[in-house]
Amino acid sequence: QSALTQPPSASGSPGQSVTISCTGTSSDVGGYNYVSWYQQHPGKAPKLMIYEVSKRPSGVPDRFSGSKSGNTASLTVSGLQAEDEADYYCSSYAGSTISVFGGGTKLTVL
Amino acid sequence: EVQLVESGGGLVQPGGSLRLSCAASGFTFSSYWMHWVRQAPGKGLVWVSRINSDGSSTSYADSVKGRFTISRDNAKNTLYLQMNSLRAEDTAVYYCARDEAWRFDYWGQGTLVTVSS
């Protein structure tokens, strides 16, 4: 049950794109297409942004997209806006009905 | 509207016990798996436990196995987390979350558990 690996921080200017990676193993990220991403603003509950690697729940802007290659998943935020500044967490199914989260990435909009 | 409301958090001494509750509304609670996720102050999200829709199957993170017990009462639309032998490292905000195909699609606002003497 090791945490997935995310960079602690990422940044970009308004309008730019930024990509956050999430690296696991063949037992979690690489083994299943159940990777999801969550946005968390300070003091708030997490919000689902991407599920099943690349699907967006209704209401989530299409500026948010997800992908996966091997054991690494990625979240891309295009056309950065000030309100995108938040912590982002990836999560993956890890088999045996267990889930695992990444350590989180603080996204700063410069 | 889906709502999840946690309660039961508070200050407890090391070695003590606490039971958290999560009241669900706005959806058919008995049809969904549910999870507990925690977040220590200033730290990231950590998955704690999950239970299937009828309560017959559970899973736990290694860090809480043998100390925490997840359960549910579908008649009361409520999820529980019984926490025993609490340690300082269990201090965190505890969130309940609904499971939809291994994504956490709805979250509660969280309840703070502080383990300290």
Interchain CB contact of A13 with B (< 8 Å)? no
Spatial distance between the Cα atoms of B81 and B92, rounded to a whole number of angstroms: 14
**Which residues, numbered 20 to 49 in chain B, qualify as contacts with chain A under a Cβ-Cβ cut-off of 8 Å?**
35, 37, 44-47
Least Cα distance to B7 among B17, B15, B18, B16 occurs for B18
Mean pLDDT of B33-48: 96
Work out the minimum CA distance from A91 to partner chain B, whole angstroms.
8
In A1-110, alpha helices (H): none
Nearest chain A CA: its distance from B103 CA (Å): 6
Mean pLDDT over B87-94 rounds to 98
Tell me if chain B has a CB within 8 Å of the CB of A45: yes
Residue B62 and residue A1: Cβ atoms within 8 Å?
A: yes
pLDDT in tens, A64-81: 999 999 999 999 999 999
Q: Does A37 touch chain B (CB under 8 A)?
A: no
Closest CB from A97, A102, A103 relative to B59: A97
Local structure of B94: helix, strand or coil: strand
| Tens-digit pLDDT profile for residues A7-31 | 999 999 999 999 999 999 999 999 9
Using the Cβ of B112 and the Cβ atoms of chain A, whether some distance falls under 8 Å is answered with no
In this structure, what DSSP letter does residue B78 have? E
